[in-house]
Amino acid sequence: MIEYKNRIMGGFVAGIKPWWDGNHLVDGEIFIHPKFQKKGFGKLLSKYMYETAIKKYNVVSFNTITFKCYAGNPHLLR
């Protein structure tokens, strides 16, 4: 979680999955409040998430999927 002036700006959640070659970081999501997007906070959280996963859980792989969801997305299914 990342905060500014005691308000939550964003955070991340992910799982650790044991695999034959070591632990994998899976099903991760990074979320930033729209007001704070495009300011580098997502990159900061990503870096922290990866570094923590490596140090704390000996993660050897990151599995990622991207989904951009916002009201103005013309490709969003309704």
Model confidence, pTM = 0.71
Question: Could you give the CA distance from residue 68 to residue 75 in angstroms, rounded to a whole number?
Answer: 10
DSSP 8-state code for residue 39: S
CATH homologous superfamily of 2-62 equals: Gcn5-related N-acetyltransferase (GNAT) (3.40.630.30)
DSSP 8-state code for residue 73: -
| Domain boundaries along the sequence of the chain | 2-62
Per-residue pLDDT tens digits for 34-77? 999 999 999 999 999 999 999 999 999 987 776 666 666 666 65
